[in-house]
């Protein structure tokens, strides 16, 4: 067994996570099934999927926080089964729920975390993180009085304060306004640029698009993974956007299109519909009777990431019926 601070011999320093066949069940229900993957250092890896899909369980197994029923692998060079304690010392974990002390100030919270991890100059470390997060002027404000966005920024700072090699973010911006989310993600990219590896689960498509790689998980299985462009390309979806030129409601048209063979998905996007299929010729034939209908404008468009995920979700649900 490796001693503290040493990675498992032979492990590539560029591979932070390397696992094979991870499976986990609770109460007889398989939550994650036969998952294998690698994550390289300095990458932001996003897990996307509906509630109950296995995202959080996957993240916890990947980093030694939960023992798999089957499978094996390493995280930060340590065995996820036998060296979980060493992994935990090098991982920062930010949960959905704000977990710092709300009655302590911003400064007190950060100094407390610094002391817990045995940092040599906790006050200086807290001051440096406050400056990095743009929290100057709020040092003495109670954490419980911060807005949702500032709370999440403080939680991220506490998570990164001990200089972990890996950070886990579980739905980190749920309930946070778009401006605060954007600023939060700017901080994440700054951490990754410094060599930190980030695993994040999210429901937001704009956040998924900011990840270097993504994996879509549903019903415990990884249905696709890769860069955003690779995931979209591998979906083989052909998509048309249809909008109205006279303000007509498209609800009725959506129901008509859903019933036609060759159309896999019809999804509203504002005042238009995205109409998709996995076979271009069949999709063209399905929409042909509607192309000349007055008041409609049809345009061939690239599928969005959300189109792909809606389609994948539909496939997963159809496979269990």
One domain, residues 215 and 120: yes
Whether residue 10 lies inside any domain: the answer is no
Structure confidence at residue 316 (pLDDT): 64
Does residue 77 belong to any structural domain of this protein? yes
> What average pLDDT does the segment 305-309 reach?
90
Residue where a domain terminates, one of 189, 215, 231 = 231
The DSSP result for 224-244, as a single string, is EEE-HHHHHHHHT-EEEEEEE
Mean pLDDT for 106-122 is 94
Residue 288 makes CB contacts below 8 A (sequence gap 6+) with none
If asked whether residues 257 and 298 sit together in one domain, one would say yes
Do the Cβ atoms of 76 and 90 come closer than 8 Å? yes
Residue whose structure tokens are 């991220």 = 156
Residues 162, 254 within the same domain = no
Q: Which of 202, 159, 194, 195 is nearest to 59 (CA)?
A: 202
Q: In this predicted structure, what is the pLDDT of residue 51?
A: 81
User: Residue 126's domain is classified under what CATH number?
Assistant: 3.40.50.300
Mean pLDDT of 286-305: 93
Q: Please tell me whether residues 162 and 277 are part of one structural domain.
A: no
Distance from C-alpha of 202 to C-alpha of 183, rounded to nearest angstrom: 16
Structure tokens at 51: 């509630």
Do 203 and 293 lie in a common domain? no
Is the residue at 8 inside a domain? Answer: no
Residues 68 and 46 in one domain: yes
Instruction: Please give the pLDDT value at position 38.
Output: 92
199 and 256 part of one domain: no
CB-facing half-sphere around the CA of 114: CA atoms within 13 A = 20
pTM of the complete model = 0.85
139 and 255 in a single domain? The answer is: no
Residue 191's contacts (CB-CB under 8 Å, 6 or more residues apart) are: 160, 167, 198
Q: Specify the number of domains making up the chain.
A: 2
Quick one: 23 and 126 in the same domain? yes
Domain membership of residue 194 (yes or no) is yes
The residue-averaged pLDDT of 77-97 equals: 90
| In a domain? residue 309 | no
248 and 212 in a single domain? The answer is no
| Cβ contact 89:75 at 8 Å | no
DSSP at 259: T
Decide if 146 is inside a domain.
yes
Is residue 318 included in any domain, yes or no?
no
Residues 119-177: tens digit of each pLDDT = 999 999 999 999 988 888 999 999 999 988 889 889 999 999 999 999 999 888 877 78
Residue-range definition of the domain harbouring residue 260: 238-302
- Over the stretch 254-270, which tens digit does the pLDDT of each residue have? 999 999 999 999 999 88
On whether both 170 and 277 belong to a single domain, the answer is no
Asked, for residue 7, whether it belongs to a domain, the answer is no
Q: Do both 174 and 89 map to the same domain?
A: yes
């Amino acid at each position: 067994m490796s001693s503290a601070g040493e990675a498992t011999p032979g492990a590539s320093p560029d591979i932070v996570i390397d696992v094979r066949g991870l499976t986990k069940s609770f109460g007889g229900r398989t939550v994650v099934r036969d998952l294998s993957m690698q994550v390289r250092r300095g990458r932001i890896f996003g897990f996307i999927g509906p509630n109950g899909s296995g995202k959080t369980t996957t993240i916890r197994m990947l980093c030694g926080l939960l023992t798999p029923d089957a499978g094996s692998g390493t995280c930060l060079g340590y065995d996820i089964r036998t060296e979980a304690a060493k992994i935990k010392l090098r991982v920062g974990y930010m949960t959905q729920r704000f977990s710092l002390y709300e009655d302590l100030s911003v400064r007190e919270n950060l100094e407390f975390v610094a002391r817990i991890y045995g940092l040599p100059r906790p006050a200086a470390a807290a001051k440096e993180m406050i400056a990095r997060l743009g929290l100057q002027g709020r040092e003495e404000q109670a954490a419980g009085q911060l807005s949702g966005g500032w709370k999440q920024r403080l939680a991220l700072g506490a998570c990164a304060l001990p200089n972990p090699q890996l950070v886990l973010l579980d739905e980190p911006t749920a309930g946070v306004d778009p401006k605060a989310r954007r600023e939060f993600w700017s901080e994440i990219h700054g951490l990754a640029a410094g060599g930190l590896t980030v695993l994040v689960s999210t429901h937001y498509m704009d956040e998924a698009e900011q990840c270097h790689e993504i994996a879509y998980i549903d019903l415990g299985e990884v249905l696709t993974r890769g860069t955003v462009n690779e995931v979209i390309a591998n979906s083989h979806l052909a998509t048309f956007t249809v909008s109205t030129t006279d303000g007509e409601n498209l609800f009725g048209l959506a129901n008509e299109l859903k019933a036609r063979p060759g159309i896999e998905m019809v999804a509203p996007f504002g005042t238009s519909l995205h109409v998709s299929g996995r076979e271009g010729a069949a999709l063209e034939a399905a929409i042909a009777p509607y192309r000349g209908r007055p008041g409609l404008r049809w345009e061939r468009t690239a599928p969005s990431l959300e189109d792909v995920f809606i389609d994948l979700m539909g496939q997963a649900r159809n496979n269990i019926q």
